[in-house]
């Protein structure tokens, strides 16, 4: 029998993260402070530890992973690379499909790869509390887990609509010892102002970020942690792609094309950036790997956004970042159930896209759930709705190969499992979800609020 699982020994947990900045044709566009000048580490040190800010600005190709972080990674890393042979058979494709299974972490997604690192650096800096936000609950769970492992108190502002719809994600965070508040909350000025304007405000990720940042900025013992978008988060996630490369060597194969879901862009960065290094060096045996970010058609930052400086949150607390954005006050339509709702995309992912080194596609939500169900039928694992975007991309490519007879090798980043997202699957089965065409008018309107940069 042929092997389907490619599992590395724990000694192969990467010793260094890979920093794509070292291989980018142009230096990254700097974040800008309130004065329109490049933000200084001092300005950001109110909410991040220095070690993280150094990583945020670093151009070093390899950054050592601290031993205590690698020791915790042992709980689930290296994650398996799996040949999706049953999916290939179901599709009748000559393509070979593999997936990297990041659902094996305790929190059920790739997010602990960075949460553990961020908790470690905050602990080293003497920080006692971390505030953060969460939408669907994946990031809040990962930070709660990481805080517990390093003895740091974690306070999570959870978007109110999810707080009410996803009670078990909230209980998971509480089990790992975190405090969880529905956002907008009465705990911050931002939350109180939002509630004063609309007592029924159901919250948004941008608003929850603003609450968490406001609290962290006002207390010396408290820092803030972000689960995506920023350079250091993309950096920490590169363990995914670094392991995958070794696993493809084990398998005697190599990807032609990689699909990853793209919300803030960290899981895409994690699997794709280590392959950017090969592409920059001319490819493996002269062959470049195609790197495809897959986003929802209802929140299409890369494919329909503008490449511009914008805020990372809805209230304009964060430095300005050059990224593909739909406007910081853009809200995806309420019918959208598949996650990946962030208005922008990682500045590094955005710049690589702008320079033509990576690709992006947008997929409608019914097709993503259809792909998730096909994947569950063939492979067993029920993927997170976010991961279903990448699976849709991979299945469509496999079907294209079927039509042309190409035997390409496809790699999909299965970023998490869907066991706490069954409500969204339920809505799909009940026919309650619909495809919402790209909200052109709403995007046009929110893009008129982009900040002016001199």
| Interface segment toward ligand PLP; rule CB under 6 A; list 9-17, 211-219, 261-269, 299-307 | 261-269
| Interface segment toward ligand PLP; rule CB under 6 A; list 26-34, 36-44, 118-126, 259-267 | 259-267
For ligand PLP, the closer of residues 185 and 346 by Cβ is 346
For ligand PLP, the closer of residues 93 and 243 by Cβ is 243
The least CB distance from residue 296 to ligand PLP, in Å, is: 11
Whether the Cβ atoms of residue 371 and residue 237 lie closer than 8 Å to each other: no
From candidates 114, 387, 409, 446, binder to ligand PLP by CB under 6 A:
387
From candidates 132, 415, 424, 446, binder to ligand PLP by CB under 6 A:
415
From candidates 191, 203, 265, 300, binder to ligand PLP by CB under 6 A:
265
Q: Does 140 bind ligand PLP (CB under 6 A)?
A: no
The least CB distance from residue 108 to ligand PLP, in Å, is: 7
Q: Does 336 bind ligand PLP (CB under 6 A)?
A: no
The least CB distance from residue 218 to ligand PLP, in Å, is: 27
β partners of residue 133: 157
Residue whose C-alpha is closest to residue 212's, from 127, 140, 137 = 140
For ligand PLP, the closer of residues 223 and 301 by Cβ is 301
Q: Does 384 bind ligand PLP (CB under 6 A)?
A: yes
Q: Does 105 bind ligand PLP (CB under 6 A)?
A: no
Q: Does 55 bind ligand PLP (CB under 6 A)?
A: no
Q: How many residues of this chain bind ligand PLP (CB under 6 A)? A: 18
| Interface segment toward ligand PLP; rule CB under 6 A; list 29-37, 86-94, 262-270, 433-441 | 262-270
The least CB distance from residue 131 to ligand PLP, in Å, is: 18
Site string for ligand PLP, 188-227 (x = CB under 6 A): ----------------------------------------
Q: Does 228 bind ligand PLP (CB under 6 A)?
A: yes
The residues binding ligand PLP (CB under 6 A) are 109, 111, 138, 228, 261-268, 340, 384, 386-387, 415-416
């Amino acid at each position: 029998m042929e092997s389907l699982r490619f599992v590395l020994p724990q000694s192969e947990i990467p010793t260094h993260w890979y920093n794509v900045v070292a291989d980018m044709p142009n230096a990254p566009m700097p974040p800008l402070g309130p004065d329109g000048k490049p933000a200084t580490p001092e300005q950001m040190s109110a909410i991040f530890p220095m070690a993280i800010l150094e990583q945020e600005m670093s151009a070093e190709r390899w950054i050592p992973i601290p031993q205590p972080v690698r020791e915790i990674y042992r709980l689930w890393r290296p994650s398996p690379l799996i040949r999706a042979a049953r999916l290939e058979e179901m599709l009748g494709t000559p393509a070979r499909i593999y997936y990297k299974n990041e659902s094996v972490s305790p929190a059920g997604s790739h997010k602990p790869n960075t949460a553990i690192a961020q908790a470690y650096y905050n602990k080293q800096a003497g920080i006692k509390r971390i505030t953060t936000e969460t939408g669907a609950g994946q990031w809040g769970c990962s930070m709660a887990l990481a805080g517990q492992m390093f003895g740091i108190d974690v306070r999570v502002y959870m978007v109110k609509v999810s707080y009410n719809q996803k009670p078990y994600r909230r209980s998971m965070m509480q089990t790992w010892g975190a405090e969880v508040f529905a956002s907008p909350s009465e705990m911050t000025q931002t939350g109180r102002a939002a509630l004063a304007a609309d007592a029924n405000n159901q919250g948004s990720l941008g608003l929850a970020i603003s609450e968490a940042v406001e609290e962290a900025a006002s207390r010396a013992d408290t820092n803030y942690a972000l689960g995506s978008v920023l350079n250091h988060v993309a950096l920490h996630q590169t363990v995914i792609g670094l392991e995958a490369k070794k696993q493809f060597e084990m398998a005697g194969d190599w990807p032609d094309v990689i699909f990853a879901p793209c919300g803030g862009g960290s899981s895409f960065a994690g699997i794709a950036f280590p392959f950017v290094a090969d592409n920059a060096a001319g490819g493996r045996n002269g062959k470049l790997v195609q790197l495809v970010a897959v986003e929802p058609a209802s929140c299409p930052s890369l494919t329909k956004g503008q490449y511009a400086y914008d805020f990372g949150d809805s209230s304009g607390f964060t430095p300005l970042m050059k990224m593909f954005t739909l406007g910081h006050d853009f809200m995806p339509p309420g019918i959208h159930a598949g996650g990946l709702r962030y208005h922008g995309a990682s500045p590094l992912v955005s710049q690589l896209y702008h320079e033509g080194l990576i690709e992006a596609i947008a997929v409608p939500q019914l097709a993503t759930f259809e792909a998730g169900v096909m994947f569950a039928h063939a492979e067993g694992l029920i993927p997170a709705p976010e991961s279903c975007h990448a699976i849709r991309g991979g299945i469509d490519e496999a079907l294209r190969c079927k039509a042309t007879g190409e035997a390409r090798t496809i790699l999909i980043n299965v970023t998490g499992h869907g066991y706490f997202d069954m409500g969204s699957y339920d809505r799909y089965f009940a026919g309650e979800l619909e495809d919402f065409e790209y909200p052109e008018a709403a995007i046009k309107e929110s893009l008129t609020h982009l900040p002016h940069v001199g």
